[in-house]
A and B are shown apart, each in its own frame.
Chain A
């Protein structure tokens, strides 16, 4: 990075807007309250604050990177624009029929997700392609033209066009778009073949509808923000953080705003990936726990696991199937209702249950003393001695220990014959168990394991629970990075300029049409390059190509990286043999066996172009060990494994120099959080100020008293 580069990242979250400014390797950060009615206000306030603190003129900033939950919120709150769907006759209910499943077996009273486009605006026209993209019925242009008065009278701002098999042949969708735009030039139009050109009509058309639904407001918001930043003197390029972990230009973001969904958590995963690369860690579990949810992501070889599908706006306890599916490039993570504000109750069987309901910031946990009566995870952390009521949020909020204890006793303890401490222990253990279970199931869904990874913990609540979570997962090492409170925004600064293009193109591997595949990949490459070069400022680019393959008859594909790069962009005639071997290798890695005699098919091709990683970060040797005296007195904490109270010394993180080493039990406090070092861990400060916790017991010992 050139020395004169000054980069600014802004992450609008549900509660806080985080701003991080990087200048010459140093960070300046600010947190302001999000202003939901006009998010630009919070942004500008935070930007001004951080520029002032850094003593930087707005004109000196070279890049702004912006991530927002606005698109997500529009989908969750169903506050997008009036949207219509033009679709193949006979299939107007695809988005409401979903997969005909109840996401919860036993509850007779569930609500299915409300479709973003009501049935009266799902408009069928005659046309039909087959699975090879051949025309069975030509598009009835008159049917499309006949929709125009209807779109006008219903004040439709945005239209999604989604025809069957358009991922094979976009001609009908393009033809329909041209007819509509000729009559309604101000209409915003999303083609399913552009936003998500993949097989499976529900996911593709749902994605197109979501894109169309948020497009008018997102476009206005993003262009408005750019203008206001410019008015404030920031005339540098504005980039947008994408859910897939890259950043892109404003023009691309306005075209595909659905790709901005969940960009904040993506930034967090990029942040953890960067930490992993700096520390030379090849198997990482990133763990981001805030007020409402915990997000867990697997990071292998310094790159987060990615996926092509995501579900937004789940209406029922974060349950899979209760939301709207989006088929877009995303960083794959699991999000569960486990945060500091998660409410603890007893379930029908008198068992302790935590979340997903959250006390939020209003009224907040009982210990906030703002009227919250339900016990929360934060209340348990207070009673267990992990949070010092006087020191919470750098002492800005004084917590009420007795309120926390009362809530735990009444909400949980009494019926189980437990005192407040026992109840707190139960709440803490259950929430940690929930996160551990979610991590394991998440890993198995992608054929991976969590054991022996390194946990990278950030977000306000994570360092309090990280050591215990690590024990439950049989993870030996935990890293708590500095600046963990604004991890997502810092992740934005680390994200490459990138763009991913996806196409369905069905091929049997043995009869692969190498020429057609090369033509397809060339076209995909051209599309991705055009987007990335616009923002890459001449930086070198890298390219990854992946084929999603499976045995004929299977339902889940395995991503296999193609052995071709930007400099050798073509598949060779021996591609079938090469691809088959690569597939079988990957399949064996995932499932410990391959299956002889079965044919292999390719469904989807994915091509990613991105600015090349900065030179791999150095793996810095640990600093010379230094013993340090406690700088913050002592505190009584409860050990979660034994249930016994212990006296733990307290350290101020800012007082710990690189190399500082200490053995648990201990608590290391900083402004936004505190790290609990249990008696089975040793902590050391890395030269880059990472706090690294190592488990003391031998690898396979069962750590019990």
Chain B
């Protein structure tokens, strides 16, 4: 190959790298300028660049999968309503329609066309969670989307550089924090501008007029690389079923995953119908977490874009909870959506060598609190009751991996971050009395499931307040794999012990404390295959109790906490003789 030809190959690699860097700059601008805690502290955002056909070229590393992949779908809807040939410099578009983008009204998507040498060459988009969108707010209690807040159809946010003042007035009039929400919307538009400037200078540097050739290069390479990975998997159909708590009745997620013809298809036929409350999932969001689950297990290192997502397809019957029609309520759709990677991984576990991680707590435990005399009944409380709204993201344990323990109190599949207690207490009249690992909540196994956590929150000075509960895995534990034990189920109570409903708005009475105990991850492999010394170390660290060490792991400890070898051998031998050794040996083989 001549040097010029080799240089052009290398330039394509470089421009691809550059695009990923450009969208990262876009995302960093979002993080720095946004008001909403969920964007700036928690990283509940997505940023990406698209070609003229609305196909995603690159996404920022910063961000969360539910947003990224559903934003990838969403840009097509903008183009369908406003064809690219009608877009003009200075135009910016906006929507929060759950069915066009990421599945609930709190997520606003802003799309900006980019022009180079007077021609539209691509589009920048971002999807971010705003602090409030009016209506009932971020909770599962609504029965129709109309109750959940204000819907912004696909509209111009700016037309040829001029803001859509009517729209902004309407939004201001309908949300609880108008200045912050409108401030956020402006920062979303500014972040897209940052990306656009970068893209334009890249095109000047490499002297290209359009992105079409680069797009084909990226898509084709990514698609081929993904297909190669899929071809390495034994063809067939692998089924899995997960039962979730749901709002007021259990929800079944059923998946048949078919590997073949250079693709993976996930069919959700047999999944429960829509719920009468706000835990329903739109197709975009189903696609987002389905693809994420497959990609993690099959092609984690291939950049996420239109091409790498092409070989992964899915179907969900209309009217099932994963393909909810308008006007179903959808605000707390993450509860179900976050379970999809576990559903898909359960299929892939049957065919991938070594298996994949056990089930985890999965659904974020988002603590949405609301206070003030117009919100909660006083129950005789006479002190001051300032109005407030608080959102705090929290995670239980993730599932044990084939060769590593699960991660404690760490989000999977969501990509959001938790927030400091001190920062929250500084701006919200609540006190966190406890936030720490939950002992014995990790599923027992050769590899232990990650621990859940316990949180206790009271009102400052004993003030009553409301919780908009949306907590999953209270009735259904994260399951272990290959004889690994289940993680502990979650619990939602008052610190006094009285049970609360895991879903729905409820009042924490004066001087009461909300106690949340999050689920632990499932274990992987038989607990008796965990080296006794590691169990003893877990006991020393207060992660596993002495009695669990004995009953679940078959490890006996002496008074100093050291392993009693003889007693341990006896415990393990005795238990092993009672169970089917054959299954265990088989699983041990798959571990190797």
Q: Which residues of A does B touch, CB under 8 Å?
A: 89-94, 96-97, 99-102, 105-109, 111-112, 118-120, 128, 130-131, 136, 164-165, 167, 199-202, 347-352, 416-419, 421-422, 425-426, 429-430, 433-434, 437, 440-441, 444-445, 447, 472, 474, 506, 551, 553-556, 590-593, 595, 597-598, 638, 642-645, 702, 704
Contact = CB atoms under 8 A, between A and B. Distances in A.
A638 B10 CA distance: 15
Given A349-B302, A643-B7, A130 B460 contact: yes
Given A90-B435, A200-B422, A474-B201, A598 B411 contact: no
Interface string B198-214: 10010011110000000
A120 B542 contact: yes
- Determine which residue in A90, A106, A201, A595 has the highest number of CB atoms from chain B within 10 A of its CB, and name it: A106
Given A111-B404, A591-B190, A595-B183, A441 B25 contact: yes
Contacts of B249: none
Contact of B411 (A93, A102, A119, A642): A102
25 contacts: A90-B433, A93-B409, A99-B418, A100-B417, A101-B416, A102-B407, A106-B292, A108-B300, A108-B356, A119-B541, A130-B460, A199-B426, A200-B420, A352-B10, A422-B1, A429-B10, A440-B21, A447-B32, A551-B35, A553-B36, A555-B40, A595-B186, A642-B3, A644-B3, A645-B3
A441 B47 CA distance: 14
A102 B410 contact: yes
B6 interface: yes
Contacts of B198: 440
A532 B33 CA distance: 36
Nearest to B186: A593
Interface residues of B, number: 96
B422 A437 contact: no
Given A93-B436, A101-B416, A642-B7, 20 more contacts: A90-B456, A99-B417, A99-B418, A101-B418, A106-B292, A120-B541, A128-B431, A199-B420, A201-B422, A347-B301, A348-B299, A417-B1, A418-B9, A445-B32, A474-B201, A553-B37, A553-B131, A555-B40, A556-B31, A702-B205
Interface string B60-91: 01000100000000000000000000000000
B436 A91 contact: yes
Contact of A97 (B183, B426, B453): B453
B393 interface: yes
Contact of B404 (A109, A440, A644): A109
Interface string B395-417: 10000010110011111100111
Interface in B191-245: 194, 198, 201, 204-207, 221-222, 225
A665 to B, nearest CB: 15
- Determine which residue in A131, A201, A472 has the highest number of CB atoms from chain B within 10 A of its CB, and name it: A131
B421 interface: yes
Main secondary structure of the interface of A (DSSP, over half): loop
A93 B437 contact: yes
Contacts of B24: 441
Contacts of A111: 404
B296 interface: yes
- Determine which residue in B14, B187, B190 has the highest number of CB atoms from chain A within 10 A of its CB, and name it: B14
B426 A506 contact: yes
Nearest to A319: B61
A425 B3 contact: yes
A92 B357 CA distance: 27
B437 A418 contact: no
Contact of B207 (A105, A555, A638, A702): A702
Contacts of A595: 179, 183, 186
Contacts of A592: 190
Given A119-B542, A119-B543, A553-B177, A100 B409 contact: yes
A111 B357 CA distance: 14
Given A118-B541, A352-B13, A433-B17, A92 B422 contact: no
A112 B32 contact: no
Contacts of A164: 421-422
A112 B407 contact: yes
Contacts of B187: 591
B116 interface: no
- Determine which residue in A90, A419, A429, A556 has the highest number of CB atoms from chain B within 10 A of its CB, and name it: A90
B420 A202 contact: yes
B29 interface: yes
- Determine which residue in A425, A433, A447, A704 has the highest number of CB atoms from chain B within 10 A of its CB, and name it: A433
Contact of B21 (A112, A120, A437): A437
A136 B429 CA distance: 14
A348 B229 CA distance: 10
Contacts of A99: 417-419
A68 to B, nearest CB: 32
B529 interface: no
B10 A100 contact: no
- Determine which residue in A100, A128, A638 has the highest number of CB atoms from chain B within 10 A of its CB, and name it: A100
Contact of A643 (B4, B186, B410): B4
A266 B1 CA distance: 44
A419 B25 CA distance: 35
A113 B14 CA distance: 31
A91 B32 contact: no
Contacts of B416: 101
A120 B537 CA distance: 9
Contacts of B411: 100-102
B221 A350 contact: yes
Contact of B1 (A419, A429, A447, A702): A419
- Determine which residue in B7, B225, B304, B425 has the highest number of CB atoms from chain A within 10 A of its CB, and name it: B7
A106 B415 CA distance: 10
A551 B301 contact: no
Contacts of B412: 102
B10 A425 contact: yes
Contacts of B35: 551, 553-554
Contacts of B7: 422, 425, 642-643
Contacts of A642: 3-4, 7
A704 B207 contact: yes
B300 to A, nearest CB: 4
Interface string B278-302: 0000000000000010011101111
Contacts of B37: 553, 555
A177 to B, nearest CB: 21
Q: Which 4 A-B pairs have the closest CB atoms?
A: A555-B40, A422-B6, A90-B434, A643-B3
A267 B404 CA distance: 40
Contacts of B426: 131, 199, 506
A639 B437 CA distance: 57
A200 B25 contact: no
Contacts of A416: 6, 9
Contacts of A202: 420
B108 to A, nearest CB: 16
B8 to A, nearest CB: 9
A422 B425 contact: no
B304 to A, nearest CB: 8
Given A131-B426, A433-B14, A444 B194 contact: yes
Contact of B18 (A433, A553, A597): A433
Contacts of B21: 437, 440-441
B119 interface: no
B543 A100 contact: no
Contacts of B548: none
Given A90-B433, A430-B14, A441-B24, A199 B422 contact: yes
B1 A418 contact: yes
B7 to A, nearest CB: 4
Contact of B6 (A201, A418, A556): A418
Nearest to B198: A440
B418 A555 contact: no
